[in-house]
A and B are shown apart, each in its own frame.
Chain A
Amino acid sequence: MNIHFRIVLLVMAAILAVGMLPALAQEPVQITLWHMEQPPHRVERIQLLIDEFNAANPDVVVRQEPQNWGEIYTKAPAAVAAGNAPELLFAIPDFTPILKDLGQLQDVTDFVAALDAKHDFVDTAVEPYAYDNGTWAVPLYNMAHSIWYRPSVFAAAGIEPPTTWDELLAAAEALTTDTQYGIGLPANRQLYTDQVVYDFMVNAGAEEIYNPDGTLRFDNEATVKAYEFYSQLFRFSPPDSTNWTWGEAEACFASRACAMIPQFTVITTYDTQAEGDPNDLGVIAIPRSAEVEESGTIAYSNGVMLLTSDPAKIEAAQRFISFILEPENYGRFLNMEPGLFLPVTDTGSQADSFWQDPMVVKYRAQVETMIENSKNGRLFGFTNGNTFPSIASISAQNILAQVLQMIVVEGMSAEDAVKAGQAAMEAAIE
């Protein structure tokens, strides 16, 4: 028995040792990139660019690890704590502060300035990442919501594309028939719902949820109006949209069950799972309420964060980021999902590699409109030149969505729900 035991221990130790060998060998600089673009075709496109970079830079090896938005808020801090953090991590502005609190985030002010001189960043893309005397991510791509519809469906119902809230409500009602829902709106406790709620808040004049001094002003009349309108519009949405993420909304539009949906893009789904006719795909800005003068929307400047302090790795990572932003590569990068990712640099917005992608060519009119709409984009917690990193705790819990659920699921009044939302936000950032 004794000897058997020892043998087993020995074997296990050997296995562990062999498993650890790779970590000890000498290798080119390893850069691991985490991103949340998991659909296989996006992963393929990124791999293409990575392979080109690796071939041109033999002293660096870049690897990608696609992650899941549902898990990343947990995994990233845990990985940093365990010493397993990637060197590069894609980010949205309200995710960055969480990482910054853990002390691993690198200040990339100089690097961004250098890239700016070369490619001319859209200013609103850099702003959400610049606070506390530093810049904490390099902007990579922009995304903004629009309303998607089919002109043929509108024509059959005899309505014009809406530009105001009254028109939107009327349109949704007119379009709701036995086989069709006028508009698909989510009410899940999830990021997509936060985004759509904010679309309406922006258009009600409630895009600021913070006071300049950092206290919360979520509870105000404009916010209440936004939620009230949402709940009225929600009557024309499919009953299971309480469980929706982006995917279900697109499926609803593709199958014609929904006449309109607010969404970053439906182009790929429309092309592969629906009829794919560029002449029957309409896109307009989110309609505005009477309180604001022009339509706005939610816009995310997506960036990449640098999480290593090793000088060799920093240099290699910067080389890779610069490679991505070069016009001949940048377009191909953005078009991993044609029509979803919009350029954040001037050179990028004119790049052939962007405009010559077959899908972009096919849906050129729609992409141009999307870029137009994105110029009026805002992001909660990062508006009008102010940045409030504490927003991270609020979006991690999807409080905007929770407030909506209080109204449409629990039947609370908009005032009470918004009040409760303010209290929840205060508890989250305390």
Chain B
Amino acid sequence: MFGLSRRTLVGYLYVAPLLVWLALTIAYPLLSTVILSLQDIRIIGTEGSFVGVDQYRTILTSDAFWSSTGRSVIWVLGNGLAQTLAAFIAALLLREAFPGVRIARVWIILSWIVPTVVVVIIWRWMLSASGGIVNYALVSFGVVERPIGFFSTGTSAFASVILINAWRMFPFMTVIMLAGLMRIPEELYESAAVDGANAWQKFRHITLPGLQPVLFVIGLLGTLMSFNTFDVIWLLTGGGPAGSTTTLPVLIYDTAFKQYRLSRAAAMSVVTGILLLVFALTFIRLMSPRTEEQESAL
């Protein structure tokens, strides 16, 4: 039938339920978001008329949209840096053999498996300026004179949220990074040592290239997941103070549900989606690892 073997047909049948599911729960909503973005609906459930690309024009010329985009970029870069660095160091440590290492390799992921609400509660409690333990330690050790309001200025709030998110996410990256590190054969390092290579040379010529497939995964997934982070920021700062932690997802939520401009938020979502799509496709094309084995997966 259709010139395809029975085997292939059965294969498609196996994939079909998943595809149908995703079509209904993602493709269809995406389509309706696009339609929504071409109207002027404000409160959900009210009537609206078609206004073509008006919403797009408004947002693409608005300061708020572009500053949020900028913040999202900084957010992604900040998180990427913090998480990759922390993951790398943690992976290096966990690669060693020591008593209890196997337990450590499993439980490192603790902060990733708890709900965001719990993460937020923990850190708001610990960073509070009246009774929080972090400030108490800082003041006791004489690092600062008075408690710091971690969320009271734009810069410190942004940095705090990035670090809290990194704390939550880096273990996930650590596991992946560790997997990559452990794949690099010990012999490579040994023969390099015999040739007189120092630590930096080993890192640059053995570790980095060996990690390339893993860094690819972390880079792609990590960026996408990071960009779309909403609940951590929303629950910690609500996008403030004074809008300084309002990244794109936060702006979209705020526009839809606090400013009651549903269509405008839909337009923002579409633009964001396109930006990310372009990023993802470019990233895959440029950074895709080249070996045979990896090709088969991607």
Contact = CB atoms under 8 A, between A and B. Distances in A.
Direct contact of A and B (CB under 8 A): yes
Interface of A: 1, 73-74, 77-78, 80-82, 98, 101-102, 181, 187-190, 238-243, 248, 251-252, 255, 257-258, 393, 396-397, 402, 405-406, 409-410, 428
A50 to B, nearest CB: 28
Interface string B36-47: 000000011110
Given A81-B44, A187-B241, A396-B260, A242 B130 contact: no
B78 interface: no
A77 B241 contact: no
Contacts of A73: 257-258
Which of B13, B43, B150 has the largest count of A CB atoms less than 10 A from its CB? Answer: B43
A128 to B, nearest CB: 21
B149 A239 contact: yes
Contact of B242 (A82, A251, A257, A405): A405
Nearest to B234: A70
B152 to A, nearest CB: 4
A402 B151 contact: no
Nearest to A189: B240
A77 B44 contact: yes
B110 to A, nearest CB: 26
A243 B45 contact: no
Contacts of B146: 239
Contacts of A239: 129, 146-149, 152
28 contacts: A1-B10, A73-B258, A74-B258, A77-B45, A77-B260, A78-B45, A98-B43, A188-B238, A189-B240, A189-B241, A238-B149, A239-B129, A240-B130, A240-B151, A241-B152, A242-B240, A243-B124, A243-B152, A248-B130, A251-B131, A257-B130, A393-B260, A396-B258, A397-B259, A402-B242, A405-B242, A409-B154, A409-B244
Interface string B234-248: 000111111110000
Contacts of A102: 43, 45-46
The 6 closest A-B pairs by CB, nearest first: A81-B45, A239-B149, A242-B152, A240-B129, A405-B242, A240-B149
Chain B contact residues: helix, strand, loop or mixed: loop
Contact of A255 (B43, B130, B149, B243): B130
B141 to A, nearest CB: 16
Interface string B119-142: 000001001111100000000000
B259 A243 contact: no
A189 B238 contact: yes
With a 10 A CB-CB cut-off, give which of A77, A98, A257, A393 has the most chain B CB atoms.
Answer: A77
Contacts of B282: none
B153 interface: yes
B154 to A, nearest CB: 6
A239 B242 CA distance: 15
Contacts of B150: 240
Nearest to A412: B242
A242 B241 contact: yes
A428 B259 contact: yes
Given A238-B129, A251-B131, 9 more contacts: A1-B10, A77-B44, A81-B43, A81-B44, A98-B260, A239-B148, A239-B152, A243-B151, A257-B131
Given A81-B45, A255-B130, A242 B149 contact: yes
Nearest to A103: B46
A268 B190 CA distance: 68
